[in-house]
């Protein structure tokens, strides 16, 4: 039988379905724990895969990886804590939905969008691997530089009250991203002789500091007026509401899918950027722009869909070219290597059945994720019944543990606290955490790619050729320009519709 | 109810005993608890693959678990400075990579955060020569074509490699000096993976990194030459730089070390176990197929190997200053 169909049949056997269920359950939990990323979950899993056959190892790891990006939405919605860096947008939109008393809707939306994202990603891996792999090769240093700059133009949707303050925030984030050993040049900057700063500002503690801490301190401030994060209401129809809201927006889904797939195949750019880009796209084309940053279903759907589409599409360069585009993909490849399989052409010839079983499993695990997720949501939504005087210390404890867990280092806890206090006061002055996070995420993409491109320009003897005349360089340069203009216009329109509203509840 | 107390007392005594033994750090009966293995580069990289390759076999031989922990950043400096500062009781070891370790201490001095004498080599297990490669469809069929073009068009060829002040950078500098040509080095962030993408995608004209990456992508790239004295087993048709009269010696090797001051028994035990694992036929075969050369350096040879590299690279790094 054709290996493609053999793969499908394999996936539907109890053995693989069970593996997927285990992977999904573990992945959701790993994703939900701040400080534990998909990469960390996979490194813990790796030794256990030695005793499995390679196909089972891949299926299990794939399921864990994908579902971590649903798990991370749970604490993001409920207590404004990103489970992994991919959940930064969910912290903004999901948590506002929860505070408006729509906890069940927020979690169901995240779940449905994540499952859809997994399906979209899995489908791209199955049907479009060849052309997408070729497309991913078009992205060299100058193109990646422009993608990063294009990303910065997303600032408009995150800026809040003042565009200028948003720009200042993004600049702060970019500056912070330069701490440590410069990626291409090797010199140490702003480390002040501290060995802990050599590796730069650790991303997870910084995200928790900038996004979670001000939110929790806000809860504490309002503890007399609001004893709970939100009123808990049993909402029997919530799931159907979410289905209707989500599935009646084909264009929103399509746009988020395209963004997720493109970001997935572009090397070195992953889930956090995908969710931000899809969110920004949703904001720009939304009729309900005023809802954004105050709990927008559209924003949440776009972000969660895109970041889940990334995991399977990230595997396209890995499977088709043997080049892992991210940490988790590198681990899947390592698992193959250690099983004695050299990733490359032979994955689609000698090991085709294994490869297609894995590819189908990324699709099917989307459905498994939805089923397992439903049970988790029902249980975890109860967390908002915990009063603030217990919840706030609990979340702060979780933040400390999460910051520590990234690399078992107390220095990172200090990072989290310092940035948290800073973010709290900045927010009082109208600076939002979102743009800072954007800068922190994009700095490590923009700077090294700029340095590589400059060296390339030296060899070619022309800056114009490298930065503007290569087809995809030109495309992204134009897109950046367009996005800046559109963003500015959209931002002005939003200001006109909503003059001088305070920046969202608790904003 | 009395039996409960008895059980509790016995348990407490047992725990106290275990603690006392751990505290005294007595090497007799080493290892008696899990060993932490620090990896200075990202999960999935070659340093990770090297520990994962031996992990299950080593656990069986030593009878304890091996916990892999990643301490990444600063081109390995973060992990190695942590290894240098760890307690020298044999329960913290770390993956080592040469010449990365020595280049950093030579070029960055105290900023590197560790000194080579703070880390005791236990064993060196694999090495890979550096390779100069081009795309399969490149007009350069041999190293001679490449050098001729570079002579006619100085600085016009863009050669990608892993970051600056790195083995890629150094090996290219060595080649340029030996051949009397000028190439433009394009430093690329994120390890050898993105370097290979840039080459296969046609963004750079050539790339230089460990030959094992070329072997992995042999359908898409052509290796023009490799460093070292002999041709590689995995690539018998590929000439060495030396065959053209160019003295290019940079090669990458992977090993294991512990903080200096670690008891000699620990070093012996670990290195024997490691080398035993590396000598098993299936591991040897896998290593060679991946384009790597197995090394079997025990403690004494390892220390001599490091010393030799230090004196070689003290001269060589001047090419990058």
d(CA B259, CA B82): 9
d(CA A456, CA B21): 59
The first and second tokens of residue A482, run together, are 């367009």
Provide the pLDDT for residue A317: 85
pLDDT surpassing 70 at residue B28: no
Q: What is the mean pLDDT of chain B?
A: 87
DSSP string over B126-148: EEEEEEEEEETT-S--SHHHHHH
* B49–A322 CB contact, under 8 Å: no
Packed helices A250-265 and A129-137: angle between N→C axes, nearest 10 degrees = 60
B44 shares contact with chain A (CB less than 8 Å): yes
Instruction: List, as ranges, residues 206-235 from B with C-beta within 8 Å of A.
Output: 216-217, 219-220
Mean pLDDT score, B82-89 = 92
Number of helices (H), then strands (E), in chain A = 24, 2
Provide the pLDDT for residue A498: 57
Instruction: List, as ranges, residues 285-314 from B with C-beta within 8 Å of A.
Output: 286, 289-290
Confidence of residue A366 (pLDDT cuts 50, 70, 90): very high
As beta bridge partners, residue A188 has: A181
Select the residue from B189, B202, B212, B216 to test the A interface by mutation, using most A Cβ atoms within 10 A. B189
The first and second tokens of residue A506, run together, are 């608790």
Q: Is B96 helix (H, G, I), strand (E, B) or coil?
A: strand
Number of helices (H), then strands (E), in chain B = 11, 10
Task: Choose among B45, B69, B188: nearest Cβ to A184.
Answer: B188
Which residues in chain A are contacts of B69 at CB distance < 8 A? 407-408
Instruction: List, as ranges, residues 23-42 from B with C-beta within 8 Å of A.
Output: 42
Provide the pLDDT for residue B4: 52
The first and second tokens of residue A391, run together, are 């919840």
Nearest alpha-carbon partner for A88 in A252, A206, A217: A206
B14 shares contact with chain A (CB less than 8 Å): no
3.30.70.20, 3.40.50.300, 3.40.190.150, 3.40.1160.10: CATH of B32-127+252-320:
3.40.190.150
Domain-by-domain residue ranges, chain A?
Answer: 3-497
pLDDT tens string B147-158? 999 999 999 999
Contact in structure between A431 and A437 (CB atoms under 8 Å): no
CA B127 to chain A, closest CA, distance in angstroms equals: 17
Q: In the CATH scheme, what architecture does the domain B129-244 have?
A: 3-Layer(aba) Sandwich (3.40)
B190 shares contact with chain A (CB less than 8 Å): yes
Phi/psi for B43 (5° steps) reads -55, 140
The first and second tokens of residue A61, run together, are 């790891």
Q: What is the mean pLDDT of chain A?
A: 87
Place of tokens 């990334």: A310
Which residues in chain B are contacts of A46 at CB distance < 8 A? 52
d(CA A348, CA A442): 34
Provide the pLDDT for residue A506: 37
Largest CA distance in chain B: 93
Which region, left, alpha or beta, applies to residue B246 given φ > 0 means left and ψ of -120 to 50 means alpha?
beta
Phi/psi for A406 (5° steps) reads -55, -50
pLDDT tens string A135-192? 888 999 999 999 999 888 888 778 777 888 889 999 999 999 999 888 888 788 888 8
Q: Tell me whether strands B251-259 and B119-135 are parallel, antiparallel or unpaired.
A: antiparallel
Q: Is B263 helix (H, G, I), strand (E, B) or coil?
A: coil
Task: Choose among B42, B68, B197: nearest Cβ to A137.
Answer: B197
Q: Does B129-244 match B32-127+252-320 at the fold level?
A: yes
Contact in structure between B90 and B212 (CB atoms under 8 Å): no
Domain-by-domain residue ranges, chain B?
Answer: 32-127+252-320, 129-244
Say what the pTM is: 0.87
d(CA A282, CA A298): 7
d(CA A165, CA A149): 18
Which residues in chain B are contacts of A47 at CB distance < 8 A? 52, 55-56, 68
Q: Tell me whether strands B35-39 and B92-98 are parallel, antiparallel or unpaired.
A: parallel
């Amino acid at each position: 039988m054709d290996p493609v169909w053999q793969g499908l049949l394999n996936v539907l056997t109890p053995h693989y379905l069970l593996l997927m269920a285990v992977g999904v359950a573990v992945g959701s939990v790993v994703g939900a724990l701040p400080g534990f990323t998909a990469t960390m979950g996979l490194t813990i899993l790796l030794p256990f895969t030695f005793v499995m056959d390679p196909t089972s190892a891949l299926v299990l790891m794939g399921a864990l990886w994908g579902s971590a990006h649903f798990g991370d939405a749970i604490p993001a919605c409920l207590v404004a804590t990103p489970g992994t860096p991919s959940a930064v947008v969910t912290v903004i939109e999901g948590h506002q939905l929860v505070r408006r008393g729509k906890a069940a809707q927020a979690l169901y939306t995240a779940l449905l969008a994540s499952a859809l994202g997994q399906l979209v990603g899995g489908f791209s891996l199955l049907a479009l691997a060849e052309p997408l792999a070729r497309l991913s090769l078009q992205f060299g240093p100058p193109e990646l530089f422009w993608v990063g700059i294009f990303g910065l133009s997303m600032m408009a949707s995150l800026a809040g009250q003042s565009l200028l303050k948003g720009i200042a925030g993004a600049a702060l984030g970019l500056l912070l991203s330069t701490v440590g050993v410069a990626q291409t040049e090797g010199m140490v900057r702003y480390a002040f002789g501290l060995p802990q700063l050599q590796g730069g500002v650790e991303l997870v503690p910084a995200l928790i500091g900038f996004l979670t801490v001000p939110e929790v301190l806000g809860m504490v401030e309002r503890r007399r007026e609001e004893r709970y994060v939100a009123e808990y209401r049993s909402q029997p129809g919530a799931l159907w509401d979410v289905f209707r809201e989500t599935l009646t927006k084909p264009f929103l889904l399509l746009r988020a899918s395209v963004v997720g797939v493109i970001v997935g195949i572009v090397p070195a750019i992953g889930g956090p950027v995908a969710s931000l880009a899809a969110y920004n796209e949703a904001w720009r084309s939304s009729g309900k722009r005023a809802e954004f940053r105050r709990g927008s279903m559209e924003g949440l759907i776009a972000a969660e869909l895109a970041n889940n589409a990334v995991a399977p599409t990230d595997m396209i360069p890995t499977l088709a070219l043997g080049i892992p585009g991210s940490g988790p993909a590198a681990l899947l490849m390592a698992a193959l290597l250690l099983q004695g399989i050299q990733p490359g052409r032979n994955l689609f010839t000698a090991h085709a059945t294994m490869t297609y079983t894995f590819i189908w499993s990324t699709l099917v695990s989307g459905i498994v994720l939805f089923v397992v997720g439903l049970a988790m949501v029902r249980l975890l939504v109860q967390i908002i019944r915990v009063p603030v005087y217990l919840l706030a210390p609990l979340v702060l404890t979780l933040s400390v543990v999460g910051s520590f867990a990234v690399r078992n280092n107390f220095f990172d806890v200090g990072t989290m606290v310092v940035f948290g206090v800073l973010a709290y006061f900045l927010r009082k002055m109208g600076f939002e955490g979102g743009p800072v996070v954007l800068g922190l995420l994009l700095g490590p993409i923009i700077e090294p790619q700029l340095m590589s491109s400059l060296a390339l320009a030296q060899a070619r003897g022309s800056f114009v050729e490298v930065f503007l005349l290569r087809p995809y360089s030109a495309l992204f340069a134009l897109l950046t320009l367009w996005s800046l203009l559109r963003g500015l216009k959209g931002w002005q329109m939003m200001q006109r519709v909503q003059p001088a509203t305070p920046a969202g509840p608790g904003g | 109810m009395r039996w409960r107390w008895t059980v509790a007392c016995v348990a407490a005594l047992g725990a106290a005993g275990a603690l006392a033994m751990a505290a005294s750090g007595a090497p007799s009966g080493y290892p008696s608890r899990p060993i932490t293995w620090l990896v200075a580069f990202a999960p999935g990289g070659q340093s990770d693959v090297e520990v994962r390759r031996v992990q299950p076999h080593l656990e069986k031989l030593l009878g304890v678990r091996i916990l892999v922990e990643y301490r990444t950043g600063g081109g390995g400096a973060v992990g190695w400075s942590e290894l240098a500062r760890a307690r020298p009781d044999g329960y913290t070891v770390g993956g080592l990579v040469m010449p990365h370790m020595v280049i950093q201490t030579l070029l960055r001095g105290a900023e590197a955060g560790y000194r080579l004498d703070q880390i005791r080599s236990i064993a060196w297990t694999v090495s890979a020569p550096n390779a100069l490669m081009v795309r399969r469809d490149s007009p350069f069929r041999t190293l001679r074509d490449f050098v001729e073009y570079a002579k006619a068009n100085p600085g016009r060829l863009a050669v990608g490699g892993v970051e600056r002040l790195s083995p890629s950078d150094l090996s290219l500098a060595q080649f340029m000096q030996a051949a009397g040509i000028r190439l433009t080095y394009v430093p690329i962030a994120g390890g050898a993976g993105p370097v290979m993408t840039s080459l296969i995608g046609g963004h750079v004209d050539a790339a230089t990194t460990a030959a094992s990456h070329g072997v992995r992508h042999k359908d898409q790239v052509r290796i023009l030459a490799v460093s070292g004295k002999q041709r590689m087993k995995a690539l018998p048709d590929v000439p060495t730089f030396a065959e053209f009269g160019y003295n290019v010696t940079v090669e990458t090797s992977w090993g294991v070390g512990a903080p200096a001051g670690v008891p000699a028994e620990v070093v012996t035990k670990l290195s024997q176990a490691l080398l035993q694992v590396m000598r098993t036929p299936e591991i040897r075969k896998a290593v060679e197929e991946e384009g790597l050369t197995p090394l079997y350096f025990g403690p004494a040879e390892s220390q001599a190997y490091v010393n030799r590299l230090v004196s070689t690279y003290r001269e060589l790094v001047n090419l990058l200053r």
